[in-house]
């Protein structure tokens, strides 16, 4: 890692130098100081040392004294330190257990979670009962963050004492029922570690996990998908039946008659997918668009192992998209694609160009792409692939060139139409200057000749002529094997080759010597007149060779082919043993057998069964009882308001039905509701006319939006329109906010080059986690500017998608280019250099907080549900006094929700571009002329900045002012 430099007293001092100047004695003195500021500063530096990999264990006694500090920030840092060293300093850590137990009751959720984390990190069996009690209490904590920590602690306790398994399973069963998305991934991980065979614990929670999957954190999604894949293989029947007819809705066509339906049933019984099976496939499909490569790979393997074969192809585009990522990711993805391409070539054939090798690829990446191209080869595309291979053979990477020759051999074996073409091309490579290419060509030609030996005697002769120039042992051995195997087809050449080998036998490699002995034996049997003496000479040389394998082979061959009294009956079988026809080798993919491992696993990557690997079970012949997944729903028995709210929530799920059904059910529910009100409640008084005029929702025209919607142009949150009962879903409105342009580089500073930029507020085409930026470059000088491009960036890790180099920009000309910048949900400026051919200019782009957000559409129920999950520290709000007249005029153009008590509210939803964190904004007008502006999000800093800007924007329009 590269650490920044700080300026101290005018001198540049690195973090390493600053920390090295502080001895442990100094830090101990600061930790034992009476001032909280000194202790806090010391702990920051100690944690900094730990983060850099330095050993700070000597400070344990001084640090542990501050475990009971009342300073929240100091206590958090102490807990971070204790988690790191509690296992190493167990005796001292045990002295603080009482403090940790008190901290488990702390009002601050982070302190409770940190205390449990430290307690579970003390690897001492004597405190197992204490840990178990703490885990059980934390599992029932009101904070989902603490419950998540308890799930992590389960795995630690199980590794410390496996005898606690039964009690831990009870806690896991309880946490599996948790509705928080923060807990779901962690408890499933604990389930996989402690009791992966207890499938019965998943039955009641299966549908909940499927529905929560989209909102779980990314690594939790990976764990849950893996578990659900194994679960599905035990609970559902196979959708891969060849004669299966997919009839998921079990609905007959409009014009089908009953007689036709009965006739079809007698012919073939349709395969009806279990609704829970379809639920899993449907809820994981959106995750193919995830920015996390592990999530995408998990969904891909789930579809490969669970989905019907005609649906698996939907994962293809997502897997190909991952090839734009880092090499490590490419390597794993390509391995899985290689396995998939063997069984289903059609999936990846449209994306064949994506697997073409680039010069910048690493060798192992090139080899995998080559493997996939070979798997995809067929009669239709083989000519294109062979042209590509011709380029690869000329590569400077010798290992890759050799792998290409092997791929050509595989294509020649699998596709008979191009066998001769490939063979002739490989023969031409024998004259190549590179020994590696020649050697690999000989080996592959040898394998190909075994398939058609009678047709290629000329090739064997040609290889014999090149024998003297080939020095690679494996290539020489392959030629000798060919000479011996087909010695009867080249009767004049084979003895001459044996003569040459007799001269150089003592200097050859062992593999060449063994093949020379074999050649001599075969020639002795077929052409004894010419080779008898040569054979005896070579056998005498081999008899005294230093290698015992060669000595043993020589003695065996002599007894086999040379008749004498000791050889007995074995001699008459020599020809059948040595000259027996050999089966042609089968050139197969190295990934042919890897499908025995689950895709995306370490075992699949290594091609061996890794520790902890759990094999997928076969599909059951008969599906188990699906009622085990039914969860009893307790109907609320309350007042009329409860009934109405439940009816409204039921209507919000009617979008999945047909329009006729939804209209019918809507009208029925409306009539039923009116009947209930007429029976149970007296008739209410009519509302005043002033209220009635706001009781309908109207949409403003485009010109009105231009005047009003700019209030939210800095926030890019999507306007959600909420109407009365007939429309249960919130409606999205377009944004007409004006685009603001910022100066990037002045023409005076840029020596004639001027640059301005703006945010188009559109999804970035390059990466979904980037903010789109458009830059307008103008040449204000009297001469042309050349090679305008992006140079170095600061920090170097800043993720920027640069525009292509502009070769030439004429005077007074302008050009607009697009960029993508990953701001990582921060308003810190992106610093980089804008360069020409001769100059470099430092520039920076700083986004407003609203530019880091993108719109998100949801229902009112979903909004309230997500808002309920983002309370406490995730909620930022502020009350204001509202100017009612201006506020109503403003609200008329957006959204009005009126109840009998005249309560106005508006809700906006969005997500951060980089991390996808949810941002919810609500503005509620209350009775006492006050408005409550609330922001719910995990990004607390962003919430504060957004609240400030919203307040300023609304105050500018004289809608709100401070009370």
226 and 84, same structural domain?
yes
Model pTM? 0.59
CATH for 56: 1.25.10.10
Of the residues 579, 609, 637, the one at which a domain ends:
579
- pLDDT, tens digit, 9 for 90 and up, residues 148-201: 999 999 999 999 999 999 999 999 999 999 989 999 999 999 999 999 999 999
Q: Measured between alpha carbons, how far is 624 from 627 in angstroms, rounded to an integer?
A: 9
The verdict on residue 331 lying in a domain is no
The verdict on residue 62 lying in a domain is yes
Q: Measured between alpha carbons, how far is 821 from 767 in angstroms, rounded to an integer?
A: 9
- pLDDT, tens digit, 9 for 90 and up, residues 394-445: 888 888 888 999 899 888 888 888 888 888 888 888 777 777 788 888 888 8
917 and 809, same structural domain?
no
Q: How far is CA 600 from each of CA 234, 299, 304, 462, rounded to the nearest angstrom?
A: 20, 10, 11, 47
CATH for 932: 3.30.310.10
Structural domains in the chain (count): 4
Contact 881, 961 (CB under 8 A): yes
Of the residues 544, 579, 614, the one at which a domain ends:
579
The verdict on residue 843 lying in a domain is yes
Contact 620, 237 (CB under 8 A): yes
Beta bridge partner(s), residue 921 = 908, 935
Q: In the predicted model, what is the mean pLDDT of residues 361-370? A: 90
- pLDDT, tens digit, 9 for 90 and up, residues 255-297: 444 444 444 444 555 778 889 999 999 999 999 999 999 999 9
182 and 73, same structural domain?
yes
157 and 132, same structural domain?
yes
Proportion of the chain above pLDDT 70, given as a percent: 79
125 and 78, same structural domain?
yes
135 and 34, same structural domain?
yes
Contact 114, 103 (CB under 8 A): yes
The verdict on residue 230 lying in a domain is yes
Q: Quick one: tokens of 207? A: 């549908």
The verdict on residue 538 lying in a domain is yes
177 and 115, same structural domain?
yes
569 and 507, same structural domain?
yes
869 and 814, same structural domain?
no
CB under 8 A, 24+ apart: contacts of 550-558? 550/510, 550/513, 550/514, 550/517, 553/514, 553/517, 554/517, 557/517, 557/518, 557/520, 557/521
* Residue 816 backbone dihedrals phi, psi, to 5 degrees: -110, 125
- pLDDT, tens digit, 9 for 90 and up, residues 473-484: 888 888 888 888
562-566, 636-640, 830-834: the lowest-pLDDT one: 636-640
Q: Measured between alpha carbons, how far is 282 from 596 in angstroms, rounded to an integer?
A: 26
Q: In the predicted model, what is the mean pLDDT of residues 930-936? A: 82
Which among 502, 506, 567 has a CA at the least distance from the CA of 537? 502
The verdict on residue 946 lying in a domain is yes
The verdict on residue 927 lying in a domain is yes
249-263, 311-325, 587-601: the lowest-pLDDT one: 249-263
855 and 836, same structural domain?
no
Entry field: residues in the chain: 963
Contact 109, 145 (CB under 8 A): yes
Give the range of the structural domain holding residue 514, as residue numbers without chain letter: 471-579
Contact 590, 371 (CB under 8 A): yes
Q: Measured between alpha carbons, how far is 88 from 57 in angstroms, rounded to an integer?
A: 8
The verdict on residue 427 lying in a domain is no
Beta-carbon neighbour count of residue 893 at 10 Å? Answer: 16
197 and 106, same structural domain?
yes
pLDDT of 666: 41
Beta-carbon neighbour count of residue 752 at 10 Å? Answer: 18
- pLDDT, tens digit, 9 for 90 and up, residues 935-946: 989 887 888 888
770 and 883, same structural domain?
no
pLDDT over 80 at 963, yes or no = no
Of the residues 559, 579, 599, the one at which a domain ends:
579
CATH for 749: 2.60.40.1150
- pLDDT, tens digit, 9 for 90 and up, residues 742-770: 999 988 888 899 999 999 888 887 888 89
Q: Quick one: tokens of 946? A: 């957004």
Per-residue pLDDT band for 860 (boundaries 50, 70, 90) equals confident
């Amino acid at each position: 890692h590269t650490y920044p430099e700080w300026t101290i007293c005018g001198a540049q001092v690195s973090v390493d130098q600053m920390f090295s100047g502080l001895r442990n004695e100094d830090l101990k003195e600061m930790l034992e100081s009476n001032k909280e500021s000194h202790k806090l500063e010391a702990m920051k530096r100690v944690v900094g040392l730990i983060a850099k990999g330095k050993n700070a264990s000597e400070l344990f006694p001084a640090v542990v004294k501050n475990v009971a500090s009342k300073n929240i920030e100091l206590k958090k840092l102490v807990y971070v330190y204790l988690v790191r060293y509690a296992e190493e300093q167990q005796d001292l850590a045990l002295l603080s257990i009482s403090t940790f137990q008190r901290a488990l009751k702390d009002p601050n959720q982070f302190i409770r979670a940190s205390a449990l984390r430290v307690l579970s990190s003390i690897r001492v069996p004597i405190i197992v009962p204490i840990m178990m009690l703490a885990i059980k209490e934390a599992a029932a904590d009101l904070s989902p963050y603490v419950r998540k920590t308890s799930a992590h602690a389960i795995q630690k306790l199980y590794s410390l004492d496996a005898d606690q398994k039964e009690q831990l399973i009870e806690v896991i069963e309880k946490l599996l029922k948790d509705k928080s998305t923060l807990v779901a991934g962690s408890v499933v991980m604990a389930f996989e570690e402690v009791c992966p065979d207890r499938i019965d614990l998943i039955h009641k929670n299966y549908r909940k996990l499927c529905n929560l999957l989209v909102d779980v954190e990314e690594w939790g999604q990976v764990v849950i998908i893996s578990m659900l894949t194994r679960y599905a293989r035990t609970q559902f029947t196979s959708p891969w039946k060849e004669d299966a007819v997919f009839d998921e809705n079990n609905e007959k066509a409009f014009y089908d008659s009953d007689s036709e339906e009965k006739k079809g049933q007698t012919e073939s019984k349709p395969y009806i997918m279990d609704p829970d099976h379809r639920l899993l496939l449907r809820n994981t499909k959106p995750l193919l668009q995830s920015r996390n490569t592990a999530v995408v790979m998990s969904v891909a393997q789930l579809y490969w192992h669970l989905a019907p074969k005609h649906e698996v192809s939907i994962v293809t585009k997502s897997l190909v998209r991952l090839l734009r990522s880092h090499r490590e990711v490419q390597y794993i993805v390509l391995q899985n694609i290689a396995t998939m391409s063997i069984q289903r070539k059609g999936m990846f054939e449209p994306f064949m160009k994506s697997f073409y090798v680039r010069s910048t690829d690493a060798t192992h990446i090139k080899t995998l792409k080559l493997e996939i191209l070979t798997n995809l080869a067929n009669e239709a595309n083989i000519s294109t692939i062979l042209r590509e291979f011709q380029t690869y053979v000329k590569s400077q990477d010798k290992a890759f060139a050799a792998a290409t020759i092997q791929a050509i051999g595989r294509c020649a074996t699998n596709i008979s139409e191009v066998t001769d073409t490939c063979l002739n091309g490989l023969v031409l490579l024998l004259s190549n200057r590179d020994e590696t290419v020649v050697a690999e060509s000989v080996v592959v030609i040898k394998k190909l000749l075994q398939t058609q030996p009678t047709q290629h005697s000329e090739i064997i002769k040609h290889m014999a002529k090149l024998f003297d120039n080939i020095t690679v042992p494996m290539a020489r051995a392959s030629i000798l094997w060919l000479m011996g195997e087909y010695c009867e087809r080249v009767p004049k050449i084979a003895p001459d080759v044996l003569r040459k080998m007799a001269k150089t036998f003592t200097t050859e490699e062992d593999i060449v010597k063994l093949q020379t002995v074999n050649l001599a034996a075969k020639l002795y049997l077929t052409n004894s007149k010419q080779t008898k003496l040569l054979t005896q000479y070579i056998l005498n040389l081999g008899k005294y060779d230093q290698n015992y394998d060669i000595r043993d082979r020589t003695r065996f061959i002599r007894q086999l082919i040379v008749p004498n009294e000791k050889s007995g009956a074995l001699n008459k079988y020599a020809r059948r043993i040595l000259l027996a026809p050999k089966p042609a080798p089968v050139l197969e993919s190295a990934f042919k057998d890897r499908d025995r491992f689950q895709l995306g696993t370490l075992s699949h990557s290594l091609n061996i069964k890794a520790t902890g690997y759990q094999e997928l079970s076969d599909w059951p012949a008969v599906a188990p009882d699906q009622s085990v997944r039914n969860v009893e729903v307790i109907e609320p028995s309350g007042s009329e308001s409860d009934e109405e709210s439940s009816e409204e929530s039921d209507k919000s799920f009617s979008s999945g039905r047909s329009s006729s059904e939804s209209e019918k059910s809507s009208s029925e529910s409306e009539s039923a509701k009116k009947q209930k009100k007429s029976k149970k409640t007296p008739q209410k008084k009519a509302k005043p006319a002033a209220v009635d005029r706001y009781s309908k929702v109207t949409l403003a025209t485009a010109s009105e939006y231009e005047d009003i919607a700019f209030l939210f142009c800095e926030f890019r949150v999507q306007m959600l329109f909420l109407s009365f009962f007939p429309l249960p879903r919130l409606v999205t409105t377009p944004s007409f906010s004006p685009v603001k342009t910022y100066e990037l580089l002045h023409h005076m500073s840029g020596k004639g080059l001027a640059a301005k930029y703006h945010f188009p507020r559109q999804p970035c085409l390059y990466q979904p986690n980037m903010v789109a930026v458009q830059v307008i470059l103008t040449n204000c000088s009297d001469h042309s500017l050349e090679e305008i491009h992006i140079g170095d960036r600061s920090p170097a890790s800043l993720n920027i998608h640069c525009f292509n180099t502009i070769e030439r920009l004429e005077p007074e000309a302008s050009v607009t280019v697009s960029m993508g910048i990953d701001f990582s949900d921060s308003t810190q400026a992106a610093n980089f250099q804008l360069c020409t051919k001769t100059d470099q200019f430092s520039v920076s782009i700083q986004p407003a907080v609203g530019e880091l957000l993108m719109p998100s559409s949801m229902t009112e129920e979903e909004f309230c549900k997500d808002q309920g999950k983002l309370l406490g520290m995730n909620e930022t709000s502020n009350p204001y006094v509202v100017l009612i007249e201006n506020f109503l005029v403003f609200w008329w153009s957006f959204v009005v929700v009126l109840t009998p008590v005249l309560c106005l509210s508006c809700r906006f939803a969005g997500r951060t571009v980089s991390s996808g964190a949810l941002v919810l904004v609500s503005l509620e007008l209350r009775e006492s002329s006050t408005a409550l502006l609330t922001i719910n999000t995990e990004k607390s800093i962003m919430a504060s900045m957004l609240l400030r800007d919203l307040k300023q924007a609304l105050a500018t329009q004289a809608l709100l002012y401070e009370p």
